[in-house]
A and B are shown apart, each in its own frame.
Chain A
Amino acid sequence: MSVRLALHSPSGSRSFLERGLLLLVMLIFLEGTVLTLGAASSPDIGAQDNTGGGHDHRGIAGSHDHTNYTYIKKAFPVLSLDYHHIQVPFEISLWVLLASLMKLGFHLIPRLSSIVPESCLLIVVGLLVGGLIKLAGEEVPPVLDSNLFFLCLLPPIILDAGYFLPIRPFMENIGTILMFAVVGTLWNAFFVGGLLYAVCQIEGTYLSQVELLPCLLFGSIISAVDPVAVLAVFEEIHINELLHILVFGESLLNDAVTVVLYHLFEEYSGAGEVTPMDVVLGVICFLIVSLGGIAVGAIYGILAAFTSRFTSHTRVIEPLFVFVYSYMAYLSAEMFHLSGIMALIACGAVMRPYVEANISHKSHTTVKYFLKMWSSVSETLIFIFLGVATVAGPHAWNWTFVSVTVILCLVSRVIGVVGLTFIINKFRIVKLTTKDQFIVAYGGLRGAIAFSLGYLLDKDLFPMRTMFLTAIITEIFFTVFVQGMTIKPLVDLLAVKKKQEAKRSINEEIHTQFLDHLLTGIEDICGHYGHHHWKDKLNRFNKKYIKKCLIAGERYKEPQLIAFYHKMEFKQAIELVESGGGVKLPSAVPSQVSMQNIQPKKLPPPVAERALPQFTKGREEEIRKILRSNLQKTRQRLRSYNRHTLVADPFEDGWNDFVLKKQRLIELEKKMTEMSNYLTVPGAIPDSPTMCRARLASDPNAFYNIKASSDGIPTIQVDLASPQSPDSVNMLNEFSKEGATGQGLGQREGADRDEDQGLMMKLAGKGEKGEEEGGSKNPGLMRCLSDPGPSNEDEEDEPFLP
């Protein structure tokens, strides 16, 4: 596209011109879209299906038909326009396209996205679109319809959040999160509602018709922290994991409270009073709503995991099961008025470790990408619609009400957070500092859920609905714009701890696991049934029974530590190759690298073991020089992942050159006459899909196996490491301490082996042996012959171990 040219063009003026052109194109497109949408929503469109030239006659003919019963032959319509026919899908697609183009646009303007969070920009776009529609004289469509929102726009975002929820920090802080979610939301609701009522009763505000219950209802709607807004803003500021999970977890779990309060007050607003009995029922309802939601989600999650056990022959529809089961969980929960959000979270979190152990690599990638894509589009649409809905109105502005709402929300949030932290800190080992409290309080953003809930209110029961809506929108705007924009500079100013680029070393892994065992032991000695005790018990239970049911084949036996180790080795191998330019490797080429085949004891060892002598410095240099001169430089791995940057797949280019490289290497091996040292990498367990799922981030011909053959002729075998994927290490610590998701062999390995066979045949008589080695592995590895997909994202950099 011209844009890409523009970006690459050297001269500044030309790129500016191109960029300006693109913006102009987009604006025109926008205008066209808006007009179409506006026109489409106008009520006249139904009668306008005679816009084509050929239709005029039909209209006349039709009207005559009744009276004359004659059929007047008319000209055959060569070209006709029938917008009505495709109206609805067309509009939907236009909106989605608009949203995506906006997203594109924001990232082309470099400075903008770093100052203003995306959510703000999108709301502004929505305002513009709504304004343009209004200017065009058409009626603004009621886009943020509650049904659309709750059934279509919200689930992808929540599923994305739930599926990739970092379970370990979530569970470690679950007490704090629950306190904030339940007690905090209750406090907010009653504080805001009550004080608003008090303010309304003051003479002179003309608000005295607003009774207590509607006020409390309003309070409960507006007090809930919104997951969409929190996600959108927090994703860009990269604060440390603890704070992120606190605010985010709270926004997810307060859904149950909101649902109960909303229904409670809505029901009884008509009646006008709430008795203590109702309160008791409300509490019971809360328990049912939340636990029921989680139960529904867990059931569907287990079903999904069980189904994925049998999908080894129909890999193509695997991702579908993940999506459909999750959506059904959401819908089933909504059917019973349980908390759909909690169901979705539970479903995603429960099914993830088992499903990932079962499905193929490609399916895994598909699931990830689709989830990210849908949630991204949904979020964009939600914010744009918020903007449009703001313009649509109707509004009833009341200075007192609105300003008091905004102020009260802030005040109650701060008081709530400070008060709760004071209590919570008594029970926490790692206390929350003032800075943390500030961020938690400041990060309590409201969003579209509040608006939709307000929109759902019945006009007749609540005559002040429009005023409520206005206040809700103002509050949303305030939090998203003011708080959203200023939180990033504040985070920098207060020097809040940022997210660590977690690069776990194997030492940390081993020692952490060791310490877990130690602490479990000490707890047993003390007779204290603490955190570790239950965690340990759950892990054992999981390992013994659950994994056997839900994970196909032999994979459930892979211990976590091994998986992690191999992932590390693999990464290092890649680094070794990538570095080619003489960069000193952190742990260098180990003096004794002996990675052997991973195999459960039952399976016969497919590949013979290879012992290793020492690597001398001279050899290292030689190897490096050769690798350097022959390897294709690969793209760097992107470390950070967010919704906006999908990691480039480094293999897409490399694959084609792979064969060429191989040819060159054959010539190369002739040079290496004195190579008696080699670097070996183990093979793969044939049938383990998890083992096949390596994340190769660099060149496919990444790992060279220089092996001394018994007859003295040096051979170079390309053989990929069999370490396990760095991917999806993020497991439920409760469910899999020992690692259901130990993953990955170099999936290139299978491919390489195929190629290898060709090579190895040419090499000194190793062919047959290599052939059968490869052969015995190939059936199992066949499904590994795929591109590895995206490399590490930081959610997957989650430490392996709980």
Chain B
Amino acid sequence: MQETGFTPAHIVRLYDRFEALDKEKTGLLRPQDFGAINGLAMNPIGDRIIGAFFSPGQETVDFHSFVRILAHFRPEDKKRPKDPSMPEPVNSRTSKIKFAFQLYDQDKDGKISRAELLQVLRSMLEMQVTEEQLESIADRTIQEADLDKDDAISFEEFRKSLEKVNIDHKMSIRFLR
């Protein structure tokens, strides 16, 4: 409860949702349960999102993890005192960006390689463009963001390229406040 910052009302609401998704009432969610959600099936990065809920190697996700992942999308607490000794709360700007980064970085090597970027672009652009175009976009993207010239985007570079974007606005769901 405390680490996510959700109020009890939120937790209850999320639990209801969890149960609704959990058709077989096992108390755990499987990828198929997520797949049953209509909108997600049409989402270009739907499978990545689903994948984010499951820790590596795990086949199921329990309510605790479910809530923990969703806590990333709680709007930031502006009034939070900046206490360096406390760990970064899960819905801070950095954590949100980290979450997004992990969605890009599927092999978890801490960098978004060109291939990974290409994959994302391919899924987002939905077959409307040619492979060469995708490649040139990917090249351009890496070139723009890549400051240490290692032909991949590290987390810091990723964060830097998003400095003008209002992450709190773009990555928060209002009702989870």
Contact = CB atoms under 8 A, between A and B. Distances in A.
A682 to B, nearest CB: 8
A12 interface: no
A587 B170 CA distance: 27
A72 B75 CA distance: 94
B132 interface: yes
Contacts of A598: 129-130, 133
A75 interface: no
A220 B121 CA distance: 53
A512 B170 contact: yes
A514 interface: yes
A27 interface: no
Interface range for A: 35 or more
Interface stretch (B1-9, B82-90, B135-143): B135-143
B166 interface: yes
A521 B141 CA distance: 24
A557 interface: yes
B100 to A, nearest CB: 6
A591 B129 CA distance: 22
Interface in A555-609: 557-559, 561-562, 565, 568-569, 587, 590-601, 609
B49 A518 contact: yes
Contacts of B166: 430
- B interface residue count range (under 10 / 10 to 19 / 20 to 34 / 35 or more): 35 or more
A528 B70 CA distance: 12
Contacts of B164: 500, 502, 508
Interface string B142-164: 01110000000000001001101
Most chain A CB inside 10 Å of its own CB: which residue of B39, B171, B176:
B39
Contacts of A519: 73, 170-171, 173
Contact of B129 (A427, A527, A562): A562
B174 A429 contact: yes
A587 B140 CA distance: 8
From B38, B78, B120, name the one whose CB has the most chain A CB atoms within 10 angstroms. B120
Contacts of B103: 514, 518
A590 B170 contact: no
Given A525-B49, A590-B139, A593-B136, A429 B169 contact: yes
B170 A517 contact: no
Nearest to A513: B124
A559 B125 CA distance: 7
Nearest to A532: B173
A511 interface: yes
Contacts of A557: 128
B168 interface: yes
A558 B126 CA distance: 11
Given A510-B121, A525-B37, A559 B140 contact: no
A517 B124 contact: yes
A616 interface: no
Given A430-B169, A524-B38, A530-B174, A507 B141 contact: yes
A414 to B, nearest CB: 24
Interface in B77-128: 78, 100, 103-104, 120-121, 124-126, 128
Contacts of A507: 141, 144-145, 161-162
A557 B173 CA distance: 31
B173 A530 contact: yes
A527 B20 CA distance: 10
A533 interface: yes
B165 A512 contact: yes
A533 B133 CA distance: 29
A500 B164 CA distance: 10
A240 B15 CA distance: 40
A522 interface: yes
Contacts of A540: 42
Given A515-B171, A561-B124, A521 B45 contact: yes
A595 B103 CA distance: 27
Interface in A97-119: none
Contacts of B125: 559, 561-562
A431 interface: yes
Contacts of B136: 565, 569, 592-596
B119 to A, nearest CB: 12
Given A500-B164, A507-B145, A559-B129, A590 B174 contact: no
Nearest to B139: A592
Nearest to A515: B170
A256 to B, nearest CB: 27
A516 to B, nearest CB: 8
Contact of B14 (A427, A524, A526): A526
A500 B70 CA distance: 32
A527 B168 CA distance: 21
Interface in A472-521: 500, 502, 505-508, 510-521
Contacts of A599: 130
Contacts of B128: 557-559, 562, 600
Given A525-B49, A562-B129, A517 B34 contact: no
Nearest to B99: A518
Nearest to B162: A511
A523 interface: yes
Interface of B: 14, 17, 20-21, 34, 37-40, 42-46, 49, 70, 73, 75, 78, 100, 103-104, 120-121, 124-126, 128-130, 132-133, 135-137, 139-141, 143-145, 158, 161-162, 164-166, 168-176
21 contacts: A507-B144, A508-B162, A510-B124, A512-B165, A515-B170, A518-B49, A521-B40, A524-B40, A526-B176, A528-B173, A528-B175, A533-B39, A559-B129, A562-B129, A587-B144, A590-B143, A591-B139, A592-B136, A596-B132, A598-B129, A598-B130
Given A507-B144, A598-B133, 11 more contacts: A507-B141, A524-B39, A524-B43, A526-B173, A527-B17, A528-B175, A530-B175, A559-B125, A559-B126, A562-B133, A595-B133
Which 9 residue pairs across A and B have the least CB separation, nearest first? A524-B39, A596-B132, A507-B161, A521-B49, A521-B43, A515-B170, A559-B128, A594-B136, A517-B45
